[in-house]
Chains A and B, each alone.
Chain A
């Protein structure tokens, strides 16, 4: 399956190019037009990305989250939820790289086939970096009034975290 996954991108790219060739599109010109747009987009999102990374760095390095979840520890332990998953679940909406680092750490220390390893795998798959994506996407088009977007995103994350735990427990518990 993982080998098969290697084919996705090349097949996708080849398919697009061959189809365009068949339709007699000026492929090279099209690519240049699009690529230029990509550069423009990068500049457009730059302020939002820099702003978010700046704030995220300060927040994550303050270890405020660790402080908060030290209070939740007894509750989680009594529910049978492995404590190691909490940092990952809380950082997940903020930073993708930080989450991957924690997951790698869990794999290293407990193995990918442990309960917490499987839980981490499922958690990674079912949620995304909600706050970062919102800041990036809305920042790129300068939308500041985001209405209920954040609440909906975080609500979905919370449901995702809970269902990941229940599903892992049902399937592998």
Chain B
């Protein structure tokens, strides 16, 4: 699926640019595409290293297990295919918690780690498991409780009440996530026949 998007982006983007006489721009765009990717990676690297380091401490002290145990009742309902003590649960929970607090940069390392844990027990390595899809639905829905970045930007532009959008954000997030989960649930039911 990602393949189609990738091809679509490049083909449509290129043809549309050429049609509008932007061949010179397209040329430079293609040549600098790689360095933009590297720049993004370099921005991510320190955060990834820092958070996986911190989370390793939490894992070794069994704090992560404790946290996983706390949220297990809820998560095992969302991820019925995962065994109760699956190592991914702690990371899934941490990822959701970090996203909920608006800490997107901390959420990514936890999410990648969760995917790695899920992949370990995946019998078909090139195919997504049910748990992976449910996890990504929750992730792309962005379970925000405190939209930190938005509040900071609203403050910067002198909003009279920067935090007034918290409640409405939570409401909208809640609805979009429920919609995604229902979609996922129905697909899963259909696949099971």
Partner of B16, one of A33, A64, A167: A64
CA–CA, A130 and B118, complex, Å: 19
Bound CA–CA A46/B124 (angstroms): 23
Shortest beta-carbon distance, A1 to chain B, in Å?
4
- B148 & A142 in contact (Cβ 8 Å cutoff): no
The total of interchain contacts (Cβ-Cβ below 8 angstroms) comes to 362
> Is B123 part of the binding interface, using a Cβ–Cβ cutoff of 8 Å?
no
Let me know if A153 and B140 touch, CB within 8 A. yes
Encode B128-152 as 1/0 by CB contact (under 8 A) with A: 1000110011011110101111111
What is the distance, in angstroms, from B161's C-beta to the closest C-beta of chain A?
7
B contacts with A, residue count (CB < 8 A) = 110
How many A residues, CB 8 Å from partner? 99
A5 closest partner in B (C-beta): B148
- Interface pair A30/B144, CB less than 8 Å apart: no
In contact, A62 and B149 (Cβ under 8 angstroms): no
Cβ B37 vs Cβ A58 within 8 A: no
Q: Decide if A34 touches B128 in the complex (CB within 8 Å).
A: no
Known contacts A42-B41, A149-B1, A167-B172; A53/B53 CB under 8 A: no
Tell whether, in the assembled complex, residue A57 and residue B56 are in contact, meaning their CB atoms are under 8 Å apart. no
A84 at the interface (CB under 8 A from B): no
With a CB–CB cut-off of 8 A, which chain B residues contact A163? 171-172, 175-176
Contacts of B101 in A (CB 8 A): 5, 8
Given the interface pairs A41-B52, A50-B37, A141-B116, the reply to whether A112 lies near B162 with Cβ below 8 Å is: yes
Q: Is B73 an interface residue when CB atoms closer than 8 A count as contact?
A: no
Closest to B58 in A: A16
Q: A130 to B139, alpha carbons, bound, how many Å?
A: 8
Q: Considering the complex, which residues of chain A in the window 107-122 have a beta carbon less than 8 Å from any beta carbon of chain B?
A: 107-108, 111-113, 117-118, 121-122
The CB with the most chain A CB atoms within 10 A, among B141, B146, B167, is that of B141
Given contacts A137-B115, A171-B168, contact A156 B17 (CB under 8 A): no
B54 at the interface (CB under 8 A from A): yes
**Contacting B33 at CB < 8 Å: which of A8, A54, A160?**
A54
**Contact B102 A159, beta carbon cutoff 8 Å:** no
Contacts of B146 in A (CB 8 A): 1, 5, 8
Given A113-B159, A152-B137, residue A126 in contact with residue B172 (CB < 8 A): yes
| CB nearest neighbor in B for A123 | B172
**B180 x A153 contact (CB < 8 A):** yes
Q: Does B90 contact A (CB under 8 A)?
A: no
Which of B2, B34, B106, B164 lies in contact with A146, CB distance below 8 A? B2
Write out, one digit per residue, whether chain B residues 45-64 have a CB within 8 A of any chain A CB (1) or not (0).
10011111111111111110
Complex alpha-carbon distance, A34 and B25, angstroms: 42
- Contact (Cβ within 8 A) A151 B22: no
Q: How far is the CB of A127 from chain B (nearest CB, A)?
A: 6
Q: A39-B45, A131-B5, A135-B2 are in contact. Are A125 and B150 (CB under 8 A)?
A: yes
Q: List 12 A-B contacts (CB under 8 A).
A: A1-B146, A31-B56, A41-B116, A55-B5, A59-B12, A121-B169, A143-B122, A145-B127, A145-B128, A157-B140, A160-B175, A171-B167
Which residues of A are at the interface with B, using a C-beta cutoff of 8 A?
1-2, 5, 8-9, 13, 16-17, 19-20, 23, 25-27, 30-35, 37-39, 41-42, 45-46, 49-64, 67, 93, 96, 100, 103-104, 107-108, 111-113, 117-118, 121-131, 133-153, 155-157, 159-160, 163-164, 167-168, 171-172
Task: Give the 5 A-B CB pairs with smallest separation, nearest first.
Answer: A34-B56, A156-B180, A160-B176, A125-B169, A50-B37
